[in-house]
Structures are given as structure tokens and as C-alpha cells.
Structure 1
Amino acid sequence: MKNADLYVTALVVRPGERKANVTPKRAVGVLHLPLDRAQRKLALTVTAPEKMRPKQPLKLKIVAKNADGSVPKQVHVLVSAVDVGILNITSYATPDPFASLFGRKQYGADQLDIYGQLIEAGQGRLASMAFGGDALAKGGKRPDTSVTIVALQSAPVTLNEAGEGEVSVDIPDFNGELRVMAQAWTDDRYGMAEAKTVVAAPIIAELSTPRFLAGGDQTSIALDVSNLSGTAQKLDVKISAEGQLSIPGGDQSKPLQLKQGQRVTLKVPVLAQGGLGQGKIKVLVEGLDLPGENLPAFTREWTVGVRPAYPAMLKHYRATLNDQTWSLPDGALEAFEPAGRQALLSLSSRPPLNLGEQIRALKAYPYGCLEQTASGLYPSLYADTATLKRLGLTGEPDAERKRKVEIGIERLLGMQRYNGSFGLWGSDSDEEYWLTAYVTDFLLRARDQGFAVPADSLKKANERLLRYLQDVGQIQVNYSQNAEHTRFAVQAYAGLMLSRSQQAPLAALRSLFDRRSDARSGLPLVQLAVALEKMGDKPRADLALTAGLAVGRKNEWLADYGSSLRDQALILALLEENDIAKEKRDERLFALADEVAASRYLSTQESNSLFLAGRNLLGKPEKDWTASIASGTETRELSNKQPGLKLDGALLGSPLTVHNQGSEPLYQQLTVSGYPTQAPPAGGENLSIRREYLSLSGAPLNIGALKTGQLVLVHLEIGAKQRVPDALVVDLLPAGLELENQNLAQSSASLEDASEEVKTIRESMENAGIKHQEYRGDRYVAALDIDGNRSVHLLYLARAVTPGTYRVPPPQVESMYRPNWQALGDAPAQMVVKGK
């Protein structure tokens, strides 16, 4: 016998007997039958040093023996060294190949019967119904801990003829305990062993910092210095900062006298500079004296991310240059923090769609629902390094770009539901009908570009689209200001996708054509026209195209994630990609450029649609033109071959001028982006948001006098005049706070005993229409469906952790697909956390 999953089973059945009130019974016995595989187990030993220093090779000796003590042949060994602290988080056990191959396996048979459903015969009475329940109160999750992750693995090695070998693993700058894990194998034998090594420097310096800081924050970092050298030491510790961190009063130097085993904590004030970037804290320890050793100065450094305290800001400057010079208005750059400030200049002899800015916005969008994930991947799918360079952008290497698309495909497929459709935030989200077609569109394009897309996933998606096309009842519209259009738009997009592979039933497309009056936008009519033409019905295709090019879109929510700008951009993309209506394209390009110029904010749908509309134009020749830009003391030349330029650093200064060196008009688009130096004013359109900080009793907290360890209850109230089904709430944390838990119901600080006021807010939160929540390291995020003329309430728990004075960002809410609907709330100037 070769299997390791052998079981002996017994089934005993007792028949029933009506006269004696005996119910039929059965019993099942299962006994695992282990086989003796001891002769196939390798006895492996790993010898590791009990203690070593960081930044040195960890040298291991490995010896393998057979079960009978003989020496095995051709033994291969794989060695790993991992921080024990990381392994303990999940109680990770060292992998054992012998147990995996020859250990007990799951019983491989399913036995199905209904004996367990039989009611015991007897003289009992019928039971009455009873109601009630109980729930297991789970403890809170472990708090997030910042650790240095050490997980190292050597290349496999082969032991010598004596069954012995040595392996060396380079250990980085790390202090702690490592578990050394080794797995060994031959052609027919397997084994494992483990050992532990303590890594400790003679002098250990560890820094405690906040997870992040915002520009203007002032905090105190704690540097712990421990002497494990074995003798008393007289040290000189120098602490410096660089990047976007500074130490008020300059670098600090502190003399220390430490006994063996003594630890001292040094407090150092730190100030974060404005903008987006990183700061470093560097520590230099001199004076370490060990007998017989000449040791260099001990150095360590830590990086702290610095983010702006306020939301990003964009300013657009558009102009038509006719043999003239344009100048940036005086003082335009002063509203931005210097760190993170940049601009993108685009010139063209055609009406501009500002493709560089659309790509930048798509790549920078930080929240990843289904639509945003797919839209953000299109530039990586179609825009290579050369294209990005023409637009003034720095592109990643092609290998990295392709890997980004592959990861994106995996993420999208992770949101595919059981029936082939897709969910907005995951596979357990509600079905998204229009987005199912949109994501399938992307997956088909990715496959055509040579990326691996699982055929089964595409088959399931296409089968779902076919159901949409053939049965309008499959499309359940939750909210739309015109449900007939919504269903028509889903079916038209489904038909377009299926027609690519000649799978769209012509009868279904013609039936949809007969309902063309349901359309409240030209986009689904043009999609239907392309599908009809691909399936061979040219007359109806021409009629649908004519109708589609004549229909505009009103400012309505139609549950297809669209807008007038999005629809016009995708129509132009369809005309370009399918080479139809050539005489209409220039006219529509001019109209689309005017609509872009009139739009202050764009959704990811709109940005990607503009990218798709404009990407084919990049390859079309322009008339030769040249222009120059002068910024501060820098000058650059632009032309039709290099129409875009990124401006930052010394290249983004004042005065800034752009000059058209030819006689033909040039369309200029300059977008300046960055972070404001001052808090933006509260207010907004259609939406409103208010935040308050409460104690667990529901009383307002004085955030100017918080104590470390104090719990802070954050209450957000969001209102809308008109319904917003795609609201996104973002509340950036002050750097002195950390989110307490990702689930209030399982929080380590229970709210069950909170005040009645807090319980009322919690009950309101249950009816808030929450679609998705994220608890990130520096922010709380929630996606909501907000009804018009009512408020919804959100609640989350944070804890004051690090003493200091911190800027307080304003709370934000926006409609993801009508981005002009957004609001900022009021925020106090600062939060002060004091040590206990």
C-alpha cells in the first residue's frame, strides 16, 4: 500500500419497529489506518550559535542521518531564518515535509443519509415554538505593531557524502530572536529541524515614533539605548534629522554612562515640514569600548512618512496661444506647500484632453473599488514608457508596468461573484450590472494585449452578460432616475462585449434596438450600433449610430457611473477604435475639449474615458510646431514630438511663461497640483459633513488636552440635499491618534457600557447605508448610499498614543462619480496629546 489516507469504516444499521416505538438507527465508525513510514524519515539536526551580532553572517551546520543511522545520499536542504515575533503572531509551526506527505489525511469519502433527521419515536407531545439567541463575545484583535520584519531564506544546498554541510545567511541590522527552519529531502526521504538564535548588538538603539506625521506637527520621539556589551560603557549619542523632519535647535548630542544591562530613554523634539514625503532620524553612537575589538561608530536610521495635513489642491490654467506669451499669475504658487508641489504642462495643435493629467489622476487615486481599480489600470495597459515621456510623465519600466496589470487582474477577479458578475468592493458585494460589462471589457482588452486572463473567469463573465442581454429581468435596479435607461445601457454594453467574439444573439440586439427610445444618453446607442454592425446588421447599426450621435445626457443619476463628459468621451473612443463616423470626430473632439475645460473635478470614469478617447490621437501626426517655457532661471523647449513636460523643483518657479514660437494657434493646459499651506474653508455642494470628538460617555472632548492612552470616539454626521448613492467619506487622522480597532463590535474597548447617547448614534450607524469601510493607518474611509434630505451617522474609535501637538485635517465627503458634489467640514487648528 502506498496511500497515507487509509481508513477502516464500519456502518451499523438497526431497523425500526412500529409496535415497540423503536426508531431506525445507524452508527458510523471511522478509524485511521497509519502505515509505518519511519524508514523514510530523515533525522536532521541544525547547529546554530546561541547568540550573534547583527550585520553578520549566520553560519549553520547541518547533519542528516537515515532512520537506521546510515548516511543518506544526495540530501537537499532549504534553510530559512525568520523573526520569532512575526511567527508568534500566527503561531506558525515549522513546516514538516514528512508529516505533510505521510501524515494523516482528511477522510476522503462523503456519506449522505437522512437518519439524523428522523424524529425519535415515543409518547412525547408536540413542542411549542420558542425564540431567542445568544452570541459569542469575541475579544478584540491584537493592536497593529510596527516591527522590523526579518524573513530570510537561503538557496537550496546539497550535503556532502557524509551527510553534512554548512549554510550561511546574512543577517541585517536586527535585534531579536530568529527561528532557523530547515527542510531536507532526497528522492524518497524527508525531514526537518529547527533551532533558535538571539541576535543582539552590544549597544541597542530603538526609536519610538508615530506611524506618520503631518506638516506642522510637533512631537517628541523616544530613543531607547541599552547596553548589552557585558561591561559598563561611556557613550556619546548624536541624533540628527533630515528630509521633512527637523529638530528644533539643531542636532542633539548627549553623553551617556551605562552600566551592563542598563537602558536609558532619551526624548527628542521633532518638527514635521509641510508637503508630502519622508523624513529620517539618524542616530550615531560613539565610544563603544570592547576588549580586543576595534569597533566603528554604531549608526542607525529610521524613516517616518510625512503627509499633508489638508486635502490636495488642483489649479487649471487653460489658454489658446497665437504667436504670443502666456504668464502664470503672480502669487499662484504661494498657496501650495513647496514639498510635493508640481505641475504638468501640455501643448497641442488639437483641442486638448489633457491626457497626462488624466493618467496622473488615475494612478494617484488611493481608493480601490471595482470601477476605480479597472479604470486605474488602463494607462498601464496602453501607455508605455515612450508614450508617458511624450506627455511629460516618468513611466515605470515595462516589466514593472506589466506586473502592475497582472496584480490588477488578480484583484479584479477577486471581486467576481459566484454567477460571473462582479461586486463593487468584493465578491460578497451586491451585483454591479453595468460594471460587470465594464470590467469584462477591460479583461478582454488585457487578454488581447497578451496578458493571461483565466478562460474560465471570462467564460463566466460572458455567460452573465448573455443573461443580461437576453433577459432584462436579470437587471435589478436599486436606484436610478430612469430605470429603463439603466437596463438599456447594461444590455447595450453587454451586447457590445459579446459581439467581439460573435456571441451576441442578433435577435436580442434587434429587440434592444426596438426599445432604443429608452436611452437617455447617446453612449448605449453607439455601443448598440457597433454591436449590430459586428453581428452583420448594417442598416440598424446606421440608424442606432445616427440616433446616438444626436442624443445628449442630462445631469441625472442613471446607475451607469456616467456623466455627459464621460459619455461623450467614450463615444469618441468608440468612433476612433472602430473607425466610424470620421466626419464627426473633429467636431466632437472640440465639443469634448470645451466640456473638459468647464469641469473643475473629474471622476475616475471621466478621466479614463478621456484617456481612451485621446490615446488614439497621440499616434496621429500633427503639424510641426515649437514652443518654449521659462520658469525662474530654467528654460525648456517643447514641440509636436515632445508636447508634455512635468514641472517641479527648480523648474516650477516664478515667473513662469510659455511662448508659442509659431503662427498657428496652440492649446495650452497647465495643471498645478499640491497641498495648501492653509486649511481650506468648510463648505460644499449638495453634501455636508460634521465631526465631533466624544468621550465614551458621549460628552464632547477637549482635544487640546488629551492624555496618552485616552480613548477618543469620533462621530461623523453626513447630510445630502439630493440622494448620493456613491458617497465616499474620508476622515484623515491627526498623527497623535491611532485607530483602536477595525470593528467596533469587537473592539478591545467595549462600547456596550457607553452612554445612551452613544448607543443611539451606534443604532443610527446600522442604518447608514454603509457599503464598505476601511480602517487604514492614517484614515477612516467609508462608502455610503445617502438619501436626500436626511443625515447619516458614522462612529469609530481611536486612541491618543504619542505626546505632541498635531494639525487636525478636516473631514471630507464626495460623490465618486459626480465629483462636483463634495464637502469639507470644520476642523480645530490642532490637537494636543500630553504624556501621563
Structure 2
Amino acid sequence: MDLNQGQRTLGASGLRATGAGEGVVRLAITGPGGYSATQESRITIRSPRPAGREVVLSSIPAGQTARIAPNLQAYYAGTVTVRATWGQPVRYDPAALMRAAVDFAFACSEQASSRIMALSAFPYEEERDARLDSYIRQLLDKQRYDGSLGLWSSQGDADRFVTSYGAEALLRARTAGATVPEGPMNALLQSIRDGVEESGIDEPYDRAVQAYRLHVLAMAGRPNPGAARRLYEVLNDLPTPLSRAQLGAAFARMGDRERAEASFNAALSMPPRRFWYQDYGSPIRDNLAIALLLKESGVLPNRLNEVVGRLPGPEFNPNTASTQEAAWAVATAAALGRDGRPVRVSVGGSAAAPAPVVSQRISPPVDVRNNGEGALPQAVSIIGLPVQAPPAGREGMRISRRFLTMQGEAVNLDQLRQNQVFILWVEARAETNETHRAMVQQGLPAGWEIVGRFGEGDVPAAPFLGTLSEAESFPALDDRFAAAVTLTPGSPVARYAVRVRAVTAGRFELPGAEVRDMYRPNIYARQNTGRITIAPVQ
């Protein structure tokens, strides 16, 4: 059938605070004999730069009114989201950290678990139930044949720590009302129980994993008191404060108060730990998690204020927090806030329903009145697309890139033409002499697409690329090239190359290449942004 020329319309919503929006392409076709057909496709529109985040903490005296009127000129109009939270029992903003965990760009099992943990503890987020369902599916997609979790896929090796972390996240989601499929959940818990019975506790990491397993099984109502008592015999050999607290939490759930108190005391008396990549942990993460576990256990109530005093303050913000730190921060704030006096606050002249914590999106400027009898903690978080792209910088890492022809010559990015194919080459290097779980990424201008990736090793037809590295995962993203890799003292360099095609004529922003430790965000390297031009095909 000969069809007449179709009519096409394109509409796009404004970019959200995360720098992403949605476009709609509608195609309407008519033909002879009254034939007609329509097709609608939705496409994601993303900014080439990451969202900017700010947090402002303050206090409103009893009976007083304060105005929230932040200066938003640093962000593009229409991209800003402002949320205010009142009555939070901590000195940081759990709402901002929840968004940081949820908006993280990647989705390994640890990151998916952190999303679940954060969102389960934050009932004020819009569309929370639908989001939780999505993140639960995202996590279970990485469940292996034996019930455990692979870090990046169900085909990868089991990550023993993340298997327990994922199980805890799912248990907390179920308590929050989310639907967690029984079959996968039972298989996950069975893999953890099998690990308890089959694994030794001779090495520090083995002991840390065993403590987490016992804590999760106790949470699920499937305690193993024999294995817990065996691990208790080497309590002072547990390598981290968190592992000791997890063992204490397991004993508390089993009703063994004496061992629970001894385990928590051992956790609290241990010096602050250094970052340890194997358990994704840091001193901040451990302090947050210990406060949550101690609060939930009900033991040592006289030491809870001491533990809360160790929690981070206003300097702890979403720009520097790891996914682990952000998730535990939200869960801890929720647990500590359950016993607080109801917040009585009016926003823009309307009284909010009294609750231990009140959190809502606002449209500043807006007046807020504290109707309570004491000072009211207030946290205001701002997320938006910044007018100025983040500048180049580095701390402990280096990043470099080249754009090459297929023959290895430099490409002039101002003289690209539609359909031209060239090579993006990127190299990341760690300079700390430590191990880093890093993500190497290069954002793609809107006019580019990746058409192929060179495999690891030497490329006979392109010796100028050098020896390319293996990656643990290449996340399937259409707006950037990304590779997850563990950089070690013995192998501190990662090198990748992909073929890129210029597909759309115009001028576009070119994001800088970046490498970052996913669990120590302050160790990174980032280039400046630039501009590229693609001329129409001749």
C-alpha cells in the first residue's frame, strides 16, 4: 500500500531536578481507503551535566515564623525541586540523602539495595510504592541460581556482603509495606543460611560477613543461635564496629540480652575504622548503622545518646555521601524520629498534619510557622540543573581521553559531520596505592551514539589504543559510556575504547570524562566540559 507522508509531532516535558525529562514522539499516518495509524513513543531527555544539590539547616523558635526564600539563580528555571523537612532528629537532612541514594546513576546490587533501604524509611516521597516495586525488581534481576546476589548481574560471582545487605533491604521494604516475592526472598535467605553453615571464620572478611548473615537471619525470624555463639567466642577479632553491632543485634532478636550488650559494648569501644572496600564501609556508615541497630535492639538505652552524638552533622551532605552512607542515614533518622513529639507547623498558612517528622515539597518563597512549644529543626534541600557545569578537579585519581580516527589520528571535534565514525579512548588511573571500586564514564553529547566497543587486550588493527582493560560491568546506558572496574595497587590503570558515530547536526555540550570511587566519592578525577559541532551530511 502506498502511504501518504506521515505527520509527526514532538513534545518534551521540562527537565526534572535530576536533569532528566521525557519527550513524546507521535507519528500519524494516513493512506488510501481511509487507512490511518498512530504510534507514540516516549524518549528520555537528559542533561549533559549532573544535578546540583544544596542543603540549608536551621531552627525556628517556638511560635515564630520564618520565610524560606532560597536564591535559585544558580539553576535553570523549571528544573528546581525544593523540599523542606521539620522535626528531623539528626543534624543532617535525611530527605536530601534519600534523593541522593535514589538518583544515583548506576544500579549494581549494592546501589539497588541502597535505594530500597532509603526509600523504605522515607514515606513522604511521591510515588514511593511504585518506585520500591521497581527497585526490588532491579535487585532481584541480579539473583543467581543459588539464591545469592551477583554485584552487576545474575551471571557474576556472588558478593557475600551485598547478598546480606540486599536481604536486609528487602526485609525492611517488606516491613514498610512493599511486596517482596516469597520465592526469591526464601531462596536469598536460604543462601545466607547455607553460607553460615558452610563458611569458615578464619579471615577478617569471613568474620564480618558471618556477623551480617546472622543479623539478617535473625531479622527474618530464622535465627541461628549456635553459629552466633561460635562467632561470639572471637568477638574481639571481628574486624569492624559494624560487624560487632550486627552480632549484638542478632543476639537481641534472639532474646540473649547479655551477649547483645557485650557485643554492642565491643562495637562502641572499638576505634574508628578506615574505609574498607570489601564491606563498602566507612566510619560514617558504621556510626549510622550502629545507631539504628542499637535503637532497634532496645539494649544499652543509656548509651544511645552517646551513639547519636557520634552521628555526622551539617557537613554531611548528598554531594559527598556514598550510597551506603546515604541509605543508612535515612534509615537511622527514621528510627530515631519515631519517639519524637509531633511537629506542629503551618506552611504557607496551612497547618500540616501533626507527625514526628513533616516533609513536603514547597514552592518558595513560603512562610513557615512553628506552632509548637519548642524550637523546631528545619532542613531545606534544593536540587536543580546548574547553570554552570562543575569545574575540572581531582583527588587521588587522574582521567584522560582522546578522540581518534580509525587510523589513530586526532579528530577535530569542530569539524565532525553526520555519520562520521571515530574512536573515543579513555584512561583512568588511581594514585592512592589503595583499592577502589570505580566507575569510569564519558557522557555523550546528544548528537553522538556508541556503535561498538573494543574488547579487552591488544587490538591488532589499532595498536595505538594500547592494551585495553577488562571491566566488571559495562552498564547499558544510551547517554554515556560507563565501565565499572576495581583499581588496585597492583593494577591502578583502566583503559577503554569505543566507536562513536555523529548522528545529529548541531552544536552540543561535551561532558568531561570522569572516574570516581563509587563508595568514596571524594576520590575522583573530572575534566571540564566543552562544545562540539556536527555539520550536516553533504
1:365 aligns with 2:104: yes
Q: Which residue in the other structure is 2:526 paired with? A: 824
Contact 2:252/2:299 (8 A) holds in 1: no
Q: CA deviation at 1:637?
A: 5.6
- Structure 1 Cα separation of the partners of residues 246 and 78 of structure 2: 45
Query: CA 1:726–1:822 in 2, change beyond 3 Å: closer, same or farther?
Result: same
Amino acid at match of 2:464: E
Q: Aligned runs of 1:269-668 on 2, under 5 Å?
A: 276-278=20-22, 305-322=44-61, 332-348=71-87, 350-378=89-117, 381=120, 387-388=123-124, 393-395=125-127, 400=130, 404-405=132-133, 408-445=135-172, 451=179, 453-455=181-183, 457-458=184-185, 460-470=187-197, 472-473=199-200, 484=204, 486-500=205-219, 504-535=223-254, 537-594=256-313, 597=316, 600-626=319-345, 628=347, 640-641=354-355, 643-647=358-362, 651-652=363-364, 660=370, 664-668=374-378
Query: CA 1:349–1:791 in 2, change beyond 3 Å: closer, same or farther?
Result: closer
Contact 1:800/1:833 (8 A) holds in 2: no
Q: CA deviation at 1:507?
A: 4.1
Q: CA deviation at 1:316?
A: 1.6
Q: Which residue in the other structure is 1:149 paired with? A: none
1:733 aligns with 2:421: no
Contact 2:446/2:508 (8 A) holds in 1: yes
- Structure 2 Cα separation of the partners of residues 474 and 827 of structure 1: 49
- Structure 1 Cα separation of the partners of residues 11 and 89 of structure 2: 49
Q: Which residue in the other structure is 1:779 paired with? A: 480
- Structure 2 Cα separation of the partners of residues 497 and 303 of structure 1: 40
- Structure 1 Cα separation of the partners of residues 32 and 219 of structure 2: 75
Larger mean CA deviation between 504-513 and 779-788 belongs to 504-513
Cα RMSD, aligned residues only: 3.8
Amino acid at match of 2:94: L
Q: CA deviation at 1:552?
A: 4.4
Amino acid at match of 1:518: D
- Structure 2 Cα separation of the partners of residues 680 and 610 of structure 1: 26
- Structure 2 Cα separation of the partners of residues 745 and 558 of structure 1: 27
Amino acid at match of 2:522: N
Q: Secondary structure at the match of 2:499?
A: strand
Amino acid at match of 2:399: I
Identity %: 25
Q: CA deviation at 1:329?
A: 8.4
Q: CA deviation at 1:679?
A: 2.4
Amino acid at match of 1:725: H
Q: Deviations over 1:786-835 (max 9, x none)?
A: 13494321211111111111111122222221122233113323333432
1:697 aligns with 2:404: no
Q: CA deviation at 1:409?
A: 4.2
Q: Deviations over 1:435-493 (max 9, x none)?
A: 121122234445665745344x5555445434544555488xxxxxxx62x33221111
Q: Secondary structure at the match of 1:765?
A: coil
Decide which structure has the larger Cα Rg and report it.
1
Q: Aligned runs of 1:208-219 on 2, under 5 Å?
A: none
Q: Aligned runs of 1:217-228 on 2, under 5 Å?
A: none
Q: CA deviation at 1:607?
A: 1.9
Aligned residues: 530
Contact 1:739/1:775 (8 A) holds in 2: no
Q: Deviations over 1:378-431 (max 9, x none)?
A: 355565xxx31xxxx4235x5x46xx53x5444434423344432101122222
Contact 1:687/1:718 (8 A) holds in 2: yes
Contact 1:807/1:831 (8 A) holds in 2: no
Q: Deviations over 1:684-716 (max 9, x none)?
A: 222232222111122211010012111121111
Q: CA deviation at 1:740?
A: 0.4
Amino acid at match of 2:478: G
Q: CA deviation at 1:595?
A: 6.9
Amino acid at match of 1:204: G
Q: Deviations over 1:289-336 (max 9, x none)?
A: 999x9x99x999886643222122111212233466767787x42111
Q: Which residue in the other structure is 1:4 paired with? A: none
Contact 2:3/2:31 (8 A) holds in 1: no
Query: CA 1:530–1:773 in 2, change beyond 3 Å: closer, same or farther?
Result: same
Query: CA 1:732–1:543 in 2, change beyond 3 Å: closer, same or farther?
Result: same
**Greater per-residue helix proportion:** 2
Amino acid at match of 1:739: I
Q: CA deviation at 1:501?
A: 6.0
Q: Secondary structure at the match of 1:592?
A: coil
Higher RCO by CA contacts (8 Å cutoff, separation 6 or greater):
2
- Structure 2 Cα separation of the partners of residues 717 and 420 of structure 1: 36
Q: Which residue in the other structure is 2:6 paired with? A: 204
Q: Which residue in the other structure is 1:757 paired with? A: 464
- Structure 1 Cα separation of the partners of residues 49 and 106 of structure 2: 17
Contact 1:725/1:787 (8 A) holds in 2: yes
Contact 1:733/1:809 (8 A) holds in 2: yes
Q: Secondary structure at the match of 1:431?
A: coil
Among 641, 661, 683, the alignment partner of 2:393 is 683
**Greater per-residue strand proportion:** 1
- Structure 2 Cα separation of the partners of residues 275 and 372 of structure 1: 20
- Structure 2 Cα separation of the partners of residues 445 and 241 of structure 1: 40
Q: CA deviation at 1:739?
A: 0.7
Q: Deviations over 1:545-589 (max 9, x none)?
A: 212233343332251112222222222222233333333334433
Q: Aligned runs of 1:145-164 on 2, under 5 Å?
A: none
- Structure 2 Cα separation of the partners of residues 304 and 501 of structure 1: 41
- Structure 2 Cα separation of the partners of residues 535 and 643 of structure 1: 34
Amino acid at match of 2:158: E
Contact 1:468/1:490 (8 A) holds in 2: no
- Structure 2 Cα separation of the partners of residues 505 and 612 of structure 1: 25
- Structure 1 Cα separation of the partners of residues 212 and 28 of structure 2: 63
1:809 aligns with 2:516: no
Contact 2:90/2:333 (8 A) holds in 1: no
- Structure 2 Cα separation of the partners of residues 410 and 279 of structure 1: 25
Q: Secondary structure at the match of 1:727?
A: strand
Query: CA 1:283–1:522 in 2, change beyond 3 Å: closer, same or farther?
Result: closer
Q: Secondary structure at the match of 1:556?
A: coil
Q: CA deviation at 1:600?
A: 4.3
